[in-house]
Structure 1
Amino acid sequence: MIDAVLLVEVFVTLFVIMDPVGTVPIFLSLTAGRSPATARRAAWQAVSVSFLVITLFALFGQQILNYLHISLPALQCAGGLLLLLVALELLTGKQHELTASADANIALVPLGTPLLAGPGAIVATMLFVQDIGSVGDGLSVALGVLGVHLALWGAMRYSLPILRLIRDGGVLLVTRIAGLLLSAIAVQLVANAVRAFIAGEG
């Protein structure tokens, strides 16, 4: 039987970490200048990639990290540095280098991972999976993860009317704000990883 409390806990935790609303300005800045159909496809691909990565780490994450001798803080630091590179490109107006690539590239990196399926979401999911004690618990975790990804897709999919409304000037403003927010998220990830290393968790 599905545990409704656990389902809500998983959904809320991942919703806060993955932040569908906060993803919107970054998605808008990375898909600026693209056709609506292309942007919709990028949203779908990004969510699919994120769901695949989260599922992979939920099932085999600890084994993968143990085999490669990678600690969770190291994974977190790597994700933070990758996000910081993307943030700097948004802040310096070089995001067109990102959008000039093939559509699938943007859906994979940075949208799918590490923006959506980042270290925080991966670690949180792995911790939830470790506490699964029954089939019902497993279904609750799975439905929670699926629900968050549906919310992510909805946020990006229906952000496209906003893009048409704010036009080029608004896109530039949103891009700069997104770059600033993303750089802060990246620095926080690295700082948390450094603290974990100092505390001996790495």
Structure 2
Amino acid sequence: MSATITLIVIMDPPGTVPVFLSLVGRKPMAVRARAARQAVLVSLLVISLFAVAGQAILSYLGIGIPALQGAGGLLLLLIALQLLSSKSNQEPEAVEDVNVALVPLGTPLLAGPGAIAATIVFVRQADGHLGAYVALALAIVAVHFVLYTCMRYSGVVIRLIKESGITLLAKVAGLLLAAIAVELVANSVRGFIAGG
């Protein structure tokens, strides 16, 4: 239960809706549905990978959680700046060239450093107990189901806020993403200082 609550707080399903809408809100419903599905599947895959082999991957590459936080923060900051600087009548450039369901939605927004670090900690706490591993797996699946539901039915929000609302949401989402990015980078610096 604590794993579910922790992951929901970190991954923030309702908080993903403004970012999701700012990136794909002007696309047809079928495209939005596909983007929601792909983002959640990418996130589930990344979180599952780190649950199974996260500690080994980080140790092998010599990467600490602070480095992961810093990288995620910088990537989110780039997306935030793009959202904040894009013209009001056009979508961010990334939507045209890159599948936003993969980056930034799937990772680092959903499967970000916080969720990855929390998952690795919960795996450590399970300490070989099968029941704890099963509970963690169920928590990960449940959180991703909530994420998918929030994004999949964000069309209701689109009908309410219309085109001008999507533009406003893009700016607000950009500001929030920038704040999250700065917090991640600050945590990264604190982690490096504490570790050094």
Q: TM-score, normalised by structure 1?
A: 0.92
Alpha-carbon offset, residue 67 of structure 1: 0.9
Give the AA of the match of 2:14.
V
**Partner of 1:179: helix, strand, or coil?**
helix
Alpha-carbon offset, residue 101 of structure 1: 2.5
Residues 11-90 of structure 1: pairs in structure 2 closer than 5 A:
11-90=4-83
Runs of 4 or more above 3 Å deviation: none
Alpha-carbon offset, residue 61 of structure 1: 0.8
> Structure 2 CA distance, aligned partners of 1:46 and 1:162?
19
**Partner of 1:70: helix, strand, or coil?**
coil
> Structure 2 CA distance, aligned partners of 1:137 and 1:67?
25
**Partner of 2:195: helix, strand, or coil?**
coil
**Of the candidates 144, 166, 175, which is equivalent to residue 171 of structure 1?**
166
> Structure 2 CA distance, aligned partners of 1:141 and 1:96?
36
> Structure 1 CA distance, aligned partners of 2:74 and 2:92?
20
**Partner of 2:38: helix, strand, or coil?**
helix
**Of the candidates 93, 99, 103, which is equivalent to residue 95 of structure 2?**
99
Alpha-carbon offset, residue 75 of structure 1: 0.6
**Of the candidates 102, 105, 108, which is equivalent to residue 102 of structure 2?**
108
**Alignment correspondent of 2:121:** 127
> Structure 2 CA distance, aligned partners of 1:138 and 1:81?
32
> Structure 2 CA distance, aligned partners of 1:190 and 1:167?
34
> Structure 2 CA distance, aligned partners of 1:115 and 1:128?
20
Q: TM-score, normalised by structure 2?
A: 0.95
> For this pair of structures, how many residues does the alignment match?
192
- After superposition, the C-alpha distances for 1:64-83 in whole angstroms (9 at most, x for unaligned) are 11111111100110000000
**Alignment correspondent of 1:5:** none
**Of the candidates 135, 141, 149, which is equivalent to residue 136 of structure 2?**
141
Alpha-carbon offset, residue 165 of structure 1: 2.4
> Structure 1 CA distance, aligned partners of 2:110 and 2:117?
13
Alpha-carbon offset, residue 168 of structure 1: 1.2
Matched, 1:183 2:174: no
User: How much identity, in percent, do the aligned residues show?
Assistant: 58
> Structure 1 CA distance, aligned partners of 2:39 and 2:70?
22
- Segments of 5+ residues of structure 2 without an aligned counterpart are none
Worse overlay, 111-120 or 129-138 = 129-138
> Structure 2 CA distance, aligned partners of 1:101 and 1:134?
45
Alpha-carbon offset, residue 96 of structure 1: 2.5
Alpha-carbon offset, residue 32 of structure 1: 2.4
